[in-house]
Amino acid sequence: MLGYLREWGMGNRELGIGNWEWGIGNWELQFNNLTKMKKVIFPWSFLPSALCFLTVVGCNFHKPLLAREISQKIEEADALGSQTSPLKWSISTQIALASPELAQIPESLVTESLTAEDYYNQGNNLFTQGRYQEAIVAYDKALEIKPDYASAWYNRGIALSNVGKYPEAVASYDQALEIKPDKHEAWTNRGVALSNLGKYSEAIASFDQALEIKPDDALAWYNRGIALSDLGKYTEAIASFDQVIEIEPNDALAWTNRGLALRKLGKYPEAIASFDQAIEIKPDYALAWNNRGIALSDLGKYSEAIASFDQAIKIKPEDTLAWYNRGNALSDLGKYSEAIASFDQVLEIIPDYASAWYNRGNALDSAVPAARAVIPTGRKQSEKTEAS
């Protein structure tokens, strides 16, 4: 039997950007409050009210004009000598809310009045735009002003993870946890970063901390299962995935990774049943179809395996693993010409796929003797017919 390439699930999941204190998630609420209190008179109330109106109504002003209007309002506010408002609405936050394109605070507007929250919200804006390096800089500025800003440390950790700086991410999560040790989200994401560093035992310890705080944290259970699988502890991994499924029965990825762990234990029928559950939840799940095909191949059910690989390819026509595994199953059935065609599909997508070249060569080598075995039989039959 040829070696099939197993395909794990997505791997580690990470919580999104955090909103523990005054983050992105509260902006709508802030606007609602501002709209209701618009008539309150204070030195620079016209600025947040005007910006709130522009955003809520959704007027499509020309961006340069909007920028000039904002700058003018800021100058007017400065002229009044206003330092802060009773409602604590900062200039930079209103700019960010009025227009995401203006979320990054221009150097010309940076004054002593900018707060840690201003920089934090700026970082969140940049984060949601995928500008992670710039977001990190903004979080750093927030932390210079407010070193015990747990949310900034936490979101900084996520941004660092997103640019592959896992040791620095762990350090950020550690800072967040020093301030707020009961934040299970930080423990979970810390574990993800450690897993990405290959420190699986430490990662599991982090997930365990998260679960001690929140026993029904499906995300922590899931990532714990992945880390245990990476350590080869498949029975324990299955138990973790079972916990995920108990909390979230329709988690197709948990069912898939459970199936993969079962396959590693040689429990092929149970693995197939897990993949079937994933497919029932998500019929267009190419990952589950591919891994189902591998488990069927393990049982010698090559025709059924090919049907599964075909489903994966129908969903993802450029799924090289599905094409590759399909080629192996066809070779195991002795259908060498079709196997070669499958390997050719792989090589069209990834020309330097060494294993595909190797198995294609094996299929060619096997095809020649198979053809020779047929040809003499044909000749004897022909001679017999002529003699008769």
Question: Looking at residue 369, what is its pLDDT?
Answer: 66
Q: Which residues contact 168 (CB under 8 A, 6 or more apart)?
A: 160
Per the model's pLDDT, the better-predicted residue between 112 and 148 turns out to be 148
Kindly list the structural domains of the chain, giving each domain's residue range(s) and its CATH number in brackets, ordered by start: 22-73+87-181 (1.25.40.10), 196-243 (1.25.40.10), 249-310 (1.25.40.10), 318-383 (1.25.40.10)
Condensed to tens digits (0 to 9), the pLDDT of residues 320-352 reads 999 999 999 999 999 999 999 999 999 999 999
Encode pLDDT of 18-60 as tens digits.
433 322 222 222 222 222 222 222 222 323 322 322 222 222 3
pLDDT at position 144 is 97
pLDDT at 2 over 70: no
Mean pLDDT is lowest, of 92-106, 168-182, 278-292, for 92-106
Determine the average pLDDT of the residues in 194-209.
98
pLDDT number for residue 367: 80
pLDDT value, residue 81: 44
Higher pLDDT, 366 or 199: 199
Q: What is the pLDDT of residue 214?
A: 98
Contact, 242 vs 278, CB < 8 A?
no
Instruction: Give residue 113's pLDDT band: very low, low, confident or very high (50, 70, 90).
Output: confident
Q: What is the dihedral of CA 205, 210, 211, 212, to 10 degrees?
A: 90
What is the band of 17 on the pLDDT scale with cuts at 50, 70, 90? very low
SS3 at position 112? coil
How does the average pLDDT of the chain come out, rounded? 78
Mean pLDDT comparison of 3-7, 23-27, 349-353, 382-386, highest-scoring range: 349-353
Tokens of 126: 């940049």
Q: How far apart are CA 350 and CA 356, in angstroms?
A: 9
The confidence band for 114, taking pLDDT boundaries of 50, 70 and 90, is confident
pLDDT tens track for 159-187: 999 999 999 999 999 999 999 999 999 99
DSSP one-letter code for 108: G
Q: How far is CA 52 from CA 19, 21, 35, 93, in A?
A: 21, 21, 7, 11
**Lowest-pLDDT range of 12-16, 88-92, 152-156:** 88-92
Asked whether the predicted pLDDT for residue 92 surpasses 80, the reply is no
